[in-house]
Amino acid sequence: MKTVLFGGTFDPVHNGHLAVAKAAADRLGLDRILFIPSGRPPHKDREPQASYEDRYRMVELACGADTRFEASRLEDPALIGDGRTYSIDTIEKVRSDLAPEDELYFLIGQDAFDELSIWHRLADVVDQVEFVVASRPHNISSVQREGLAAQARFHQLEGVDVPVSATAVRQLARQGIDLSDMVPEAVADYIRQHNLYQENEGSRPLGRPPFCL
């Protein structure tokens, strides 16, 4: 079995996430993609706007789009406590339930992959997973990875370009604008019914997001 871990704040999950996941599954013959909403991401200063439960529920709804997609509570703060969760913690949890011959992948955006050198317990990470690195067309990184980061096994996922960001979705939701072109219909309904993202985020632009998923 080929399993891929796809983590993120998913605040909210949107069509860009789904397009990248589908492309990865199709091209690499993946059997299962675990969408893992993060509790407290170690490399982000800003807390998610929506609660964990709301973000998980939206992911759960979005995963109905493909039988290979599965929502996961591996980083549920209620299950892991108040501490921050690192990728290696999640990787080891999943690996412990797999057979020795099963393959484990980690889906990641180009921006995050370029920062691999700062990851916690990087040696263990690169030993246990192969990365699937999503990049925009003609935008493969030229960053020179050194040391352990250079040992990472990876597959470049090109040609998936859905210019939508969670920031844009939140800002449009606050304005009461239709989200059906940016998120699955069930997610748009959930955002509206639960009045999510009504708090002002300031004046950040809605322009093209970085490819960091």
Q: State residue 83's pLDDT score.
A: 60
Q: State residue 147's pLDDT score.
A: 85
Q: State residue 79's pLDDT score.
A: 86
The 10s digit of each residue's pLDDT in 23-34 is: 999 999 999 999
**Least confident window among 97-106, 137-146, 186-195, 204-213:** 204-213
Structural domains of the chain in order of their starting residue, each with its CATH number: 2-193 (3.40.50.620)
Q: State residue 212's pLDDT score.
A: 46
Determine the average pLDDT of the residues in 85-110. Answer: 95
> How far is Cα 59 from Cα 116, in angstroms, rounded to an integer?
25
CB atoms within 10 A of CB 194: 14
The 10s digit of each residue's pLDDT in 135-191 is: 866 556 666 677 888 899 999 998 888 889 999 999 999 999 999 999 999 999 999
Task: Return the higher-pLDDT residue of 192 and 40.
Answer: 192
Q: State residue 208's pLDDT score.
A: 42
The 10s digit of each residue's pLDDT in 34-67 is: 999 998 766 566 788 999 999 999 999 999 999 9
Handedness of CA 27, 30, 32, 37 (dihedral sign): negative
Polymer length of the chain: 213
Q: State residue 41's pLDDT score.
A: 61
Q: State residue 85's pLDDT score.
A: 83
Cis before residue 77, ω within 30 degrees of 0?
no
Q: State residue 209's pLDDT score.
A: 44
The 10s digit of each residue's pLDDT in 104-133 is: 999 999 889 999 999 999 999 999 999 999
Q: Distances from the Cα of 96 to the Cαs of 90, 91, 93, 100, 106, in angstroms?
A: 10, 9, 5, 9, 16
pLDDT of 202 strictly over 60: no
